[in-house]
Amino acid sequence: MPVGTRGAVKGLTPPMLREAGAAMLLANAFHLHLRPGEETVAALGGLHALMAWDGPILTDSGGFQVFSIAGSKVDGDGVTVRSPVDGSPVRLTPESVVGIEEALGPDVAMPLDHCPPWPCSEEEALASVERTVRWLERSAAAKRRDDMALFGIVQGSVYPGLREECARAVAALGLPGNAVGGASVGEPRERSLPAVRAAVAVLPADRPRYLMGVGEPGDLLDAVAEGFDLFDCVLPTRNGRNGLALTRDGPVHLRNASASADPAPLDPACPCLACRRYSRGALRHLFQSGEMLGPILASLHNLTCVLGLLREAREAVLSGRYAAFREESLRRYRGNTASPGTAGDDRLPPL
């Protein structure tokens, strides 16, 4: 899912998102609650009208953002946080978040959960799991709209036993979909991977399994192999805005001088506008000149690349050849990069 935190995917129109292959978008209930407010969104016709998007929309509760804000105060009932807009106190409870999301009108809503930061002790992770499950039960009881699906979220940091325990409790609620959260908050990947595996192994396979916050191409292919179906991440568009283009053969740094006179497209096999009509040299010129078209084209290309990769992964799964597809794709991608924007040892190890 392309990420439109405040009701828009930065720099891209809905037709461009459709062209890139997007079927579903993500928005953030916490940020939309702050500005313009869920009442305003409802008065404007709901989130679909605000975003001019006629496909499905998922709203994240903002739990990750809330707990990453310095000074957040958590208690058994909810969390109090300072608004990043004006510094005023904002009180969130499982029930109030569901009410915000029902006013916004998404198709899928994520509940308020407790996402622990890293580093995180096992005792802290256990408290997060217990709070997340209690809050999920309260969220499910508070939901009123039948046209909005509520998903569960699994926490547990890097501890496989806690992840499995939380996943079993979440699965027992019989919700239409489930997610694994808190798996990309700075923890070592070699520790998070066994914990993520423990969670997904017990989540129902007959409904969507959503890995939150993961969008690096190699990590996506690994996650599909584990059984995940749904993903979101700001990485494709954020990297695009900063001049880092994703390709099947690794990233291309468009600000590098080596691209200045390169007449080749980013990827001759890519159908996006950036690859059909612009060279690497032309794209570098746009970035070096500060032209807004550069970040737009690079963002469009990155989404096209990632969504195309997942479309091919889906086809490979259905045809029973995913293992070979993944191996070849990872060979091409990881053979040419350590991992875009990260150190080489910060990516998921091959499974």
Q: What residues act catalytically?
A: 60, 232
**Sign of the alpha-carbon torsion through 285, 252, 262, 12:** negative
Closest CA to 136 of 152, 115, 149: 152
- What are all long-range contacts of 247-251, with beta carbons under 8 Å and residues at least 24 apart? 247/305, 248/217, 248/305, 248/309, 248/329, 248/332, 248/333, 249/332, 249/333, 249/336, 250/332, 250/333, 250/334, 250/335, 250/336, 250/337, 250/340, 251/337, 251/340, 251/341
Closest CA to 77 of 62, 93, 97, 63: 93
CB atoms within 10 A of CB 9: 28
CA angle 48, 50, 56 (to 5 degrees): 20
**Sign of the alpha-carbon torsion through 295, 186, 125, 127:** negative
Ramachandran category for residue 162: left, alpha or beta (phi over 0 → left; psi -120 to 50 → alpha):
alpha
Distance CA 113, CA 128 (A): 8
CB atoms within 10 A of CB 88: 9
Closest CA to 11 of 308, 306, 273: 273
Token readout for 230 is 């749904």
Token readout for 270 is 């890519």
Distance CA 229, CA 241 (A): 26
Distance CA 309, CA 330 (A): 11
